[in-house]
């Protein structure tokens, strides 16, 4: 029986994939499988993965005929997974030796639906520890109890799929899949759904995932139209949260977070291509008009003056009918 399935999408990361694969080997166990999803890479990544299929214990290689993006690649891996537990890793990140056995031991001891972990962010030579924004460690809780408060960073603001481990029953209950085709912010509706609908979770202090920032091919570094998928992602968060029995409590958090992300992107317009910057403004203005207006007003009143004024100006901007839809 497979205990753990590790889902690792790869796309044009031939420089970093060998480090990722070496770290997987240092975490191999006879009851672990590593599902390597090649998302139609066009560089030397397929050759690296072909070697890994032969040499990495437990490796299962799956290839996309067309590039589908990270969300779709993760879904492909979920469909192929046979493990009692599942976790994720990105193809340009890496792990500490022996981390996955510790992670499995943690969720088996706690007996909950999912466990969230800290991670190390790596930018060049700099290393920074990032913690799950939840102080109680090793305590099983209802996930929806840690969504709030609206004006502080909480567990739904720590969306990284690879920072945790998930019981198979989440797959069976339809909670672990990502929205097909999202190119960025794919983990935002995913983490909100987990916290609204799963029954139990815990945060633990394990450090073992090394998250590489500043990779040139990463969408976080590319200012093209794919970045605007954050609007589709947060529209989904608002839509699904609106139907929750506790929508009146949760929507202020969802709307405030959406506004903060819009403001962040507006404050970094120089990184976008000019046509994408124009589209960002128009799509963001339309998004503000789609939000529950009473909740939006309260959210803007609670934000600092600089962000609030930027968003209020945008909210007054006329929006073409085709953008507003």
Q: What is the DSSP annotation of 35-94?
A: EEEE----SSHHHHHHHHHHHSTTEEEEE-SS---HHHHHHHHHHH---SEEEE--TT-E
Strands 119-123 and 85-88: unpaired
Other Cβ atoms less than 10 A from the Cβ of 124: the count is: 8
- The sheet carrying 32-38 orders its strands as 59-63, 32-38, 4-10, 85-88, 164-167, 114-117, 201-204
| Beta partners for residue 129, in sequence order | 120
Give the phi and the psi of residue 246 in degrees, each rounded to 5: -110, 35
Contact 240, 189 (CB under 8 A): yes
Contact 60, 80 (CB under 8 A): yes
pLDDT of residue 221: 45
Contact 122, 210 (CB under 8 A): yes
Q: Where are the domains of the chain?
A: 4-220, 223-324
DSSP state of 272: S
Strands 164-167 and 114-117: antiparallel
Give the integer Cα–Cα distance in Å for 59 and 116.
24
Give the integer Cα–Cα distance in Å for 81 and 75.
10
pLDDT of residue 252: 98
Looking at domain 4-220, which CATH architecture does it have? Alpha-Beta Complex (3.90)
Those residues whose C-beta lies under 8 Å from the C-beta of residue 265, and which sit 6 or more positions away, are 227, 230, 280, 284
Give the integer Cα–Cα distance in Å for 42 and 290.
39
Considering only CA atoms, which of 60, 59, 3, 61 is closest in space to residue 31? Answer: 3
Helix (H) or strand (E) run with residue 211 in it: strand 209-213
pLDDT of residue 208: 97
Output the six-digit token pair for 153: 């960073």
Is the pTM higher than 0.85? The answer reads yes
Contact 214, 221 (CB under 8 A): yes
Considering only CA atoms, which of 286, 274, 282 is closest in space to residue 224? Answer: 274
Peptide bond into 81 cis (omega under 30): no
Give the integer Cα–Cα distance in Å for 238 and 256.
11
Those residues whose C-beta lies under 8 Å from the C-beta of residue 129, and which sit 6 or more positions away, are 118, 119, 120, 121, 207
Tokens 């088996």 identify what position? 108
List per-block mean pLDDT (blocks of 10 residues) for the chain, which spans 325 residues: 97 97 98 98 98 97 96 98 98 98 98 98 95 93 97 97 98 97 94 98 97 67 78 98 98 97 92 91 96 97 93 85 50
Other Cβ atoms less than 10 A from the Cβ of 225: the count is: 14
| Beta partners for residue 271, in sequence order | none
């Amino acid at each position: 029986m497979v205990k753990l399935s590790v889902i690792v999408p790869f796309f044009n990361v031939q420089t970093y994939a060998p480090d990722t694969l070496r770290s997987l080997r240092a975490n191999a166990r006879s009851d672990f499988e590593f599902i390597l999803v090649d998302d139609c890479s066009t560089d030397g990544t397929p050759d690296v993965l072909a070697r890994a299929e032969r040499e990495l214990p437990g490796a299962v290689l799956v290839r996309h005929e067309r590039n589908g993006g990270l969300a779709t690649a993760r879904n492909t891996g979920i469909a192929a997974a046979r493990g009692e537990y599942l976790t994720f890793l990105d193809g340009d990140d890496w792990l500490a030796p022996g981390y996955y056995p510790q992670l499995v031991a943690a969720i088996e001891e706690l007996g909950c639906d999912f466990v969230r972990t800290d991670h190390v962010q790596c930018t060049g030579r700099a290393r920074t520890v990032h913690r799950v924004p939840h102080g109680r460690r090793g305590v099983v809780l209802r996930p929806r109890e840690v969504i709030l408060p609206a004006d502080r960073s909480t567990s739904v603001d720590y969306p990284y799929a690879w920072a945790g481990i998930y019981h198979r029953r989440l797959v069976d209950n339809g909670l672990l899949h990502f929205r097909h085709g999202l190119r960025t912010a794919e983990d935002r509706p995913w983490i909100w759904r987990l916290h609204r609908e799963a029954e139990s979770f815990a945060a633990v202090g394990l450090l073992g995932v090394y998250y590489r920032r500043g990779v040139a091919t990463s969408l976080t570094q590319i200012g093209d139209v794919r970045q605007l998928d954050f609007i589709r992602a947060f529209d989904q968060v608002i839509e699904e949260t609106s139907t929750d029995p506790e929508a009146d409590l949760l929507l202020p958090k969802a709307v405030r977070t959406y506004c903060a992300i819009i403001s962040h992107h507006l404050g970094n317009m120089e990184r976008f291509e000019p046509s994408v910057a124009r589209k960002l403004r128009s799509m963001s203005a339309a998004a503000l008009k789609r939000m529950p207006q009473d909740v939006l007003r309260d959210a803007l009143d609670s934000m600092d003056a600089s962000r609030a004024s930027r968003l209020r100006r945008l909210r007054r901007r006329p929006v073409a009918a085709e953008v507003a839809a």
